[in-house]
Structure 1
Amino acid sequence: MLVLAVVLAVGAYVVTRIDALDHRTLLVVVAVGLAVGGVAAQSAPPAPVEVATTVASDPVPNATTPAASDDRRTVAERHGETGAVAAANASATVVGVAGGGRITYRTAAGERRTIRLAGIDALGAGGGDPERFDGVVTGSYGRTCLAEVGRRALIDARTALVGESVTVRSVTGSAGAPTAVLAADGRSLNRRFVERGYARATDDRYADAERAARSAGRGVWSCATVEPTPPLRESAEPALRIAAVHPNPPGDDAAALDDEYVVVENAGEESVDLSDWYLTDGGDRTYFFFDGRTLRPGEQLVVHVGDGRNRDGHVYWGASAPVLDNDRETLKLVDGDTDRVVRLSY
């Protein structure tokens, strides 16, 4: 800026003295002035540009700044959560229960939602396919048994849950079939269904509950054992009967022969000598009670299909392959001395 001021001053002086200079001298002075002025202009820093700023209390119409909700949606999409519905510890009221673990609830905002209980495979109102529940007797007996359990499960769930407050701990899945973990009084409804034998576990979280229900023969797992009602026998004396049959152990039947068994019971009031009795299946396989056992009134004897050492209350058929059909069978308990027969079909 100082150099520019000097140049301007020199130019002014020249103008005042222009009459005293010849033309050649005047051109030299003008050229020098222009050169010095150009150098000064290039070296000077650019002048700041003044920008007008408007402050307003209301948002500017058509503003393009993304909202916070848009940012959250973008993050969810980046993590692949666009098809999920998420909720955590939201309160709701149960308004309907259907078969298959489907529950309809009303949120605090009044919205109705229907979900399936996550991590379980529950019976429908009309039962289900026995093949879904490993260990359940297949065929008509299994289907009939599961249908009865399904009806009981639906009545029990509706009685206990409709109108009750629940906590929706989480909801995941597609919009068409969301699944959820629900809790009532701090206890998981998903686990409750498995504990009562109304569902099998499809999640490791409920595997222990399924084992307990299987062991106790609750709900679905009661269909793993055939029990005659009322006791089936053709003669009043002696009062032996086939009290139960467990034909389809979980997993590979050939690998669980000891868990395939028939239960013989003395339902009479006198002891029965089993020396002349034998048990036969629908084919030609027969088990003879050769050891002279006696069953006292009310006592039971479990006949295991596999091989093992006989002991109190348990004897072993000694078969190397499954004996009992999983879906259809007629068993006979025969008194070889009198030809009296007790039958059980399933």
Structure 2
Amino acid sequence: MGEKTQPSLLLILLCMSGLVPRSAAFVFWTALLETRYYHSSNDTVVKLCECGVYGRNSEVEKFSGYVAVPKGDPTGCNPDTSYGRNSSQEWIALVKRGNCTFSEKINTAMYQGAAGVVVYNVDGTGNGTTYMSHPETDDAVAIMIGNIQGTEIANLVKSGTVVYMDIKVGNPHGPWMDTYWLYFLSIAFFIVTAASIAYFVFISANRLYSMNRHRRTENRLKSEAKKAIGRLEVITLKRGDELTTSDAMCAVCIESYKAGEVVTVLTCDHVFHKACIEPWLLERRTCPMCKCDILKALGVEEEVKVDMSTSSPPEVTVITVTGGDSLYEVPLNEPMSHEPEQQQNLYDNIAFVEDSETARG
């Protein structure tokens, strides 16, 4: 009971949201078929089964009436086929599959006033049914039942037995609603979710490891920088010293030197306020003026700061230069050591050389 209720509720929600039209190809509805007729002993025989399947293009709704079979051809393909029923009572056409399309059978019966059409399968198929398609019918209600059951009802009607049929909407079925498919989709969902979580955990752990490694490297470099700073020459300025009498200024704070201030002399002989240069050296470890590496100058080997995998390439500003009929991109902020090679590469282009000579001339 629980297995049928859950898919039904899911389908109802989808139908209410307009996502599943009545003729959706990925779901089909079964039909509850109840037949009643009087036996020769005046006993009422009632048979009930969920043995019908609504057509692909059928209205999915209940219908009922007395069963009528076509006279002559049981398939009801002839447009002039008579069922011998009038419109005073609701009646259902019972026709056999074959000889023409489902649409032709259904339209012929509906044209004569049938409340609905029941198609039973061909001989040799037992009680097997198929999901019949009848796109050329408008607002028709049609189901298919098995051959054995349909033949039995047709024979009763032909023998003069009055058979009443009541058909109600059964349960929805489809690949996505099958229990095994639900299990499969659930397992697939959990596998994908687990893989995604594992991937993000791996990425986060790798990033955390890189950050910790970078932090440890920075801490070691700061420790080495502290040792190096302790080996630098420190002077207390006195009145009359050259630094106090000249216009020299500390390049970090941009203020003049005064008597009584403590200054630090770097290995490159540049002088700065001790309170200004020490925080600078802890972070950058180079002279603010000449970029001299203090650690290397003091013989302290600097470790690699960051892995190549975590470092980003330097940004390069590029301008476009016109040379003849061609365009050339020239980086502006390349290191000075690369400039001669850059110029040599540029002058290898004949058009560029001609333009340069013309400008100089």
TM-score (norm 2): 0.21
Between structures 1 and 2, the one with greater helix share:
2
